[in-house]
Amino acid sequence: MSTASTVPATAGDVKENHGSLHIGDLEVNFFDSVDEHSGLPPIVLVHGTGGSARSHFGFLFPMLAAKQRVVAVDLATPQGPPDEGQIRMAEQVQAVIEKVLPDRPVTLAGYSLGAVVAATAAGTRPDLVGGLILMAGWLKTDAQQKLRNDIWRALRQSDVEALRRYQAFCAFSAPLLAMLSDGEIEALVSSFRTDDLMAAQMEINRHVDLTDVAPKIACPTLIVAGTDDLMTPFRQSKRLFGAIADARYTEVTSGHAMVVERPAELVHLIAAFNANPNQYPAGAILPTRRP
Amino acid sequence: MPTSTPDALRDVSVIIVGAGFSGLGLGIQLRRRGESSFVILERADDVGGSWRDNTYPGVACDVPSPLYSYSFRTNPDWSRMFSPGQEIWDYLRAAAREEGLGPHLRFGAEMLEARWNENDHRWTVRTPQGEFYGDVLVAATGHLTDIKLPEVPGLETFTGELFHSARWNHDFPLAGKRIGVVGTGASAIQIVPQLAEIADQLVVFQRSAPYIQPRRDRVFSEAEKNLFRRDQRTVEEMREMLFWYNDSRFAARRLIDDYLAEASWQALSHLDKQVSDPELRAKLTPDYTIGCKRILLSDDYYPAIQRPNVHLEAAALERVEGSTAFSAAGEAFELDVLVVATGFETYDLPSSYRIFGRGGNALADHWSNGMQAYKSIATAGFPNLFLLNGPGTSLGHNSVIYMIEAQIDHLLAALDWRSAHDGRVLEVSSDIENAFAKRLDEGAAETVIIRGGCSSWYLDPRNGRATLSWPDFAHRFRDECAPFDPAAYDHGEQSAARA
Ligand SMILES: Cc1cc2nc3c(=O)[nH]c(=O)nc-3n(C[C@H](O)[C@H](O)[C@H](O)COP(=O)(O)OP(=O)(O)OC[C@H]3O[C@@H](n4cnc5c(N)ncnc54)[C@H](O)[C@@H]3O)c2cc1C
């Protein structure tokens, strides 16, 4: 589902290679930080609806790349039937892994729709994925989410400016929005996309269903939910926690836009999981962090 | 041997030196675990460390109070986001009292010398109050505690009143005086707006302009404080939000373009907004990359500098003759008072000249190439010595208390391990210490501390190493340094039984 891009990303000081590959008529771009730094598995990042490697991972990419290799995929939006969207996108991720990081375990980390795509990729090709992180993901689009999707659609027809405000309202947690100045709110609002590609991704969101693929996920998995997420409510993450055998679960105090609201905490969770996926056993709820 | 008066805690399991946030934090945790065999030696006459010594007008923390406090003693009563120093001192005094540290504290007990005894494998600490013996020595002596005066010829000949910001002379009336403030660091920018109100003339000697961002301070309303009292979770939530937000600011320190640009913009747009005179603005514009020195927070410093009775001298204090202070730019100022806000001995700690490990080796000698410690807590050749808030713990972007708490967890686990293993001695090897230090050096080389084009108190000028600085997220310090791994330590010897 969609998230703001308040953080226009660059990889800053971190070296990165840009590459692309073709699947049918889709061009898939990716960024690779190349430098291994350590014996840790590389991390593959998959962005969410309306985002890109840069807009969703402007923080995570360079900061994770300081300690391990990171590859971020820019998903191409498939044009076919929306219920095939998740598998078409998963194929892109699988193709990038096979091309850039062949024959080695990777930790695949997806955010929002990217979590759905990552779960699909891990369930259909368990050989490619050594560890899986699902941030603000969901198991199967439910009625609450469809209702939000309906409003999105209707506003896109009737009032694009209201749609942007609605997106900001849905993406960020109430406590975060409450702290912002008028100017900051306007900056957030204007960062949202409402274009055709975005609309196509919203259609894919409507049809997400991981019920069959989730049980096929074999690797250690970390599920990260936002306590205040309106778009993929934390109970959806809990459903993933129930459906994936080797899963552990944790919450960050955030809305859906956790990559913007709690990026440092995500770096902590991802880096710690990548270094030791079995630090907590399958079925564990991570201890509450009290910094 | 000095005559020792009887003291039930003369011979203990743990000797803690220093009663600031570090020493008290450890003491509280020991008490809460039911330990009684420890003593806290403090040279001054009260607890509080930095917050006892810094009483200058305007003193306050620059990390928000809900975060700048112990996680295990959140405080619903902070008056504001950045509470005044007195409140922080009171907080520490109440903590010491309410947690039952009174019987463990010894004041006027300066560690004059600490020696590792090769025969019984224990520490002896000599103080004006006699000797103390302990299995474990914890140096919680701080690194912003021993004041540093600038090396300015003639300073000692100054005929007016002169004092350091951390040794404020409250007896000397400052109203209507001609006052010079030396330095523009964290203390100076809190002092200047206060003195500007009362001085006849105020001259600020600026060697290097600091970056200053809006402070966003505010009072906590009675309703808020009441909520904090009624629902502790609300204090914790604010603390967590502040912690993770602050930790995200490390991206700028790691020179990630967009975050660096954002941090610069926050400071420079603040300057633009508050200072319109282009010439003054130029003087107040820093010449290094933001974050290289501590980023300061103030809404009243720039306005104060623009008062008619205030002069910003964009040059260092160069020499003093009688009542005249000369700047490096050749300007002369007649002054009644000089307030020296030039900071502290940071890289070559006085306490390190007083701690002697194996073979009578001084910690200062061990550190002649710069201070370092395995996981910022243990050093080779100094068995059963643990350092709190020592090398590799300083942050520009988050609360030091968080770092101290991570170290306390390491230490408590080490003490547990010793209890479970017949009091065996814990000592790291040079290899392990050096490997850790090398990683920190490599990390620092990627950060603004090394690459920002400034000299800061985080750097050891003898070797250019960022020996004080933890060059990563604060959370990473907990992830890496809080866990105690016995395998990293050699542990052959055993402390002899207590007398
Ligand atoms: C004005 C000021 C503002 C600050 N604001 C912040 C802030 O906002 N955020 C932040 O994170 N940090 C801040 N700091 C840093 C601050 O020093 C630490 O946060 C913290 O207070 C350090 O606690 P400590 O116990 O490690 O050291 P200290 O507070 O320095 O305590 C060390 C104690 O050891 C004693 N001691 C030293 N040597 C001996 C000896 N030989 N024998 C016996 N006793 C000895 C000293 O007297 C002192 O009481 C600030 C520092 C200053 C000076």
Average pLDDT over residues B160-185: 98
Using the mean position of ligand 1's atoms as its centre, give its distance from the Cα of residue B142 in Å.
5
What is the DSSP pairing of strand A221-226 with strand A129-135? parallel
Average pLDDT over residues A159-163: 97
Using the mean position of ligand 1's atoms as its centre, give its distance from the Cα of residue B81 in Å.
20
pLDDT tens digits, one per residue of B123-157: 999 999 999 999 999 999 999 999 999 999 999 99
Residues of chain A in Cβ contact (below 8 Å) with chain B: 7-14, 58-59, 62-63, 66, 175, 253, 262-265, 267-268, 271-272, 289-291
pLDDT tens digits, one per residue of B463-491: 999 999 999 999 999 999 999 999 999 87
Q: Considering only the top CATH level, what class is A4-140+210-275?
A: alpha beta
d(CA A62, CA A216): 31
pLDDT tens digits, one per residue of B313-323: 999 999 999 99
Q: What angle do CA B412, B440, B187 make, to 5 degrees?
A: 80
A9 interaction partners in chain B (CB closer than 8 Å): 258
Q: Which chain B residue is nearest to residue A64, measuring alpha carbons?
A: B251
- At A221, the pLDDT band (50, 70, 90 cuts) reads very high
What is the DSSP pairing of strand B11-17 with strand B38-41? parallel
Contact (CB<8Å) A272/B479:
yes
B236 interaction partners in chain A (CB closer than 8 Å): 290
Give all domains of chain B, ordered by start, each with its CATH number: 11-47+101-146+346-490 (3.50.50.60), 155-210+249-340 (3.50.50.60)
Residues with Cβ within 8 Å of B467's Cβ and at least 6 positions away in sequence, in order, are B347, B370, B371, B372, B391, B392, B458, B459, B460
Average pLDDT over residues A184-212: 96
Could you give the dihedral angle defined by the CA atoms of residues A240, A246, A251 and A257, in that order, rounded to the nearest 10 degrees?
A: -60
Between A263-275 and B474-481, two packed helices, what is the crossing angle to 10 degrees? 30
- At A14, the pLDDT band (50, 70, 90 cuts) reads low
ipTM surpassing 0.90: yes
B256 interaction partners in chain A (CB closer than 8 Å): 10-14, 59, 62-63
A214 neighbors A246 (Cβ within 8 angstroms): no
B106: pLDDT strictly greater than 80: yes
- At A4, the pLDDT band (50, 70, 90 cuts) reads very low
pLDDT tens digits, one per residue of B420-437: 999 999 999 999 999 999
Q: What is the DSSP letter of A219?
A: S
Which residue from B244, B258, B446 is facing A264, i.e. has the nearest CB? B244
Q: Looking at the complex, does the CB of residue B148 fall below 8 Å from at least one CB of chain A? A: no
B1: pLDDT strictly greater than 80: no
Mean pLDDT for chain B overall = 96
Using the mean position of ligand 1's atoms as its centre, give its distance from the Cα of residue B351 in Å.
13
Which residue's CA is minimally distant from atom 51 of ligand 1? B50
Kindly report, as residue ranges, where domains of CATH 3.40.50.1820 are found in chain A.
4-140+210-275
Q: Please report the sign of the dihedral spanned by the C-alpha atoms of residue A96, residue A102, residue A103, residue A105.
A: negative
Average pLDDT over residues B88-103: 98
- The predicted pLDDT at position A5 comes to 31
- The predicted pLDDT at position B493 comes to 80
Mean pLDDT for chain A overall = 94
B245 interaction partners in chain A (CB closer than 8 Å): 264
- Percent of chain B scoring above 90 in pLDDT: 96
- Out of B70, B141, B247, B295, mutate this one to test ligand 1's pocket (max ligand atoms within 8 Å of CB): namely B141
A259 neighbors A113 (Cβ within 8 angstroms): no
A118: pLDDT strictly greater than 90: yes
Partners of A223 in the beta sheet? A134, A249
Q: Looking at the complex, does the CB of residue B147 fall below 8 Å from at least one CB of chain A? A: no
Q: Does B7 contact ligand 1 (Cβ within 6 A)?
A: no
Using the mean position of ligand 1's atoms as its centre, give its distance from the Cα of residue B148 in Å.
14
Q: How far apart are the first and last CA of chain A?
A: 30
B125 neighbors B111 (Cβ within 8 angstroms): yes
Q: Please report the sign of the dihedral spanned by the C-alpha atoms of residue A256, residue A259, residue A265, residue A271.
A: positive
- Percent of chain A scoring above 70 in pLDDT: 95
Which residue's CA is minimally distant from atom 26 of ligand 1? B142
What's this model's pTM, rounded to 2 decimal places? 0.96
- The predicted pLDDT at position A11 comes to 38
Neighbours of B477 (CB within 10 A): 21
A265 interaction partners in chain B (CB closer than 8 Å): 244, 247, 475
* Closest atom, ligand 1, to C-alpha of B41: 43
Average pLDDT over residues A135-150: 98
- The predicted pLDDT at position A3 comes to 33
Using the mean position of ligand 1's atoms as its centre, give its distance from the Cα of residue B240 in Å.
23
Q: How far is A10 from chain B (nearest CA, A)?
A: 7
A6: pLDDT strictly greater than 90: no
- The predicted pLDDT at position B5 comes to 77
Output the six-digit token pair for B391.
Answer: 């090398």
Q: Which chain A residue is nearest to residue B66, measuring alpha carbons?
A: A291
Q: Give DSSP secondary structure letters for B274-314.
A: H---HHHHHHTS-SS-TTSSPPEE-SSHHHHHTSTTEEEE-
Q: Does B165 contact ligand 1 (Cβ within 6 A)?
A: no
* SS3 assignment, position A199: helix
Average pLDDT over residues A166-173: 98
By residue count, chain B amounts to 499
Q: Does B17 contact ligand 1 (Cβ within 6 A)?
A: yes
Contact (CB<8Å) A63/B239:
no
Which residue from B241, B256, B476 is facing A62, i.e. has the nearest CB? B256
